[in-house]
Amino acid sequence: MARPQRIVLVRHGESEGNADDTVYEREPDHALRLTENGRREAEETGKRLRELFGRESVSAYVSPYRRAHETFRAFGLDPGLVRVREEPRLREQDWGNWQDRDDVRLQKAYRDAYGHFFYRFAQGESGADVYDRVGAFLESLYRSFEAPDHPRNVLLVTHGLTMRLFCMRWFHWSVAEFESLSNPANAETRTLELAADGRYVLDRPFERWRTPEPYGITG
């Protein structure tokens, strides 16, 4: 089994929806583009990724959302070194279709009170639903490691909540731990590095907005 040396998670750059939440009333979430600022953010991240990967090969998986594809293209990675696949299981949490801004703001307030993992948007998904599809993607990713020539680098271009849930699934974090963490900023990365003992270590933690509540299974 050729496990990669690193698995890099990247949140897309700033999108039209990040800059102006009224756009959800006019455009589908999956079709939103990067802003000019978002494109610059992605280009800056791309510089760091090119330095990190050097001339090593990369297996890239990209959310099907337009802003994720635009982020990946802005990285400027050498196409001769990158094998890229669109991966629907890495998409954003579904909130519904055409979205009323005031209704979404209200539902987000309900979610904050109820919990991001279990709260289900009226026409969309809960965090638990996203966790399940991320888990299904991980099973496919593990199988890809069986190839003896698997690239030393894996790159996932996705969304903030999905990044947190990927790490929750990988590191077996509790729901309480997940609920205490904040999303990364736009175009921000987290890297799982393969350590000498054969385990993966997160290069830096997610910021906390509160201390995890001490309930559930511990130890």
Which sequence spans correspond to the domains of the chain? 6-22+34-93+128-202
pLDDT at 215 over 70: no
Q: What is the rounded average pLDDT of the residues 44-66?
A: 98
- CATH architecture for the domain at 6-22+34-93+128-202: 3-Layer(aba) Sandwich (3.40)
pLDDT at 122 over 90: no
- pLDDT at residue 219 in the model: 46
Q: What residues are labeled active site? A: 12, 92
**Which tops the pLDDT comparison, 208 or 100?**
208
Q: What is the rounded average pLDDT of the residues 113-125?
A: 92
Quick check: pTM over 0.75? yes
- pLDDT at residue 68 in the model: 98
Would you say 87 and 62 are in contact if contact means Cβ atoms under 8 Å apart?
Answer: yes
- pLDDT at residue 101 in the model: 82
Each residue's pLDDT tens digit, 150-191: 999 999 999 999 999 999 999 999 999 999 999 999 999 999
Residue type, 107: Q
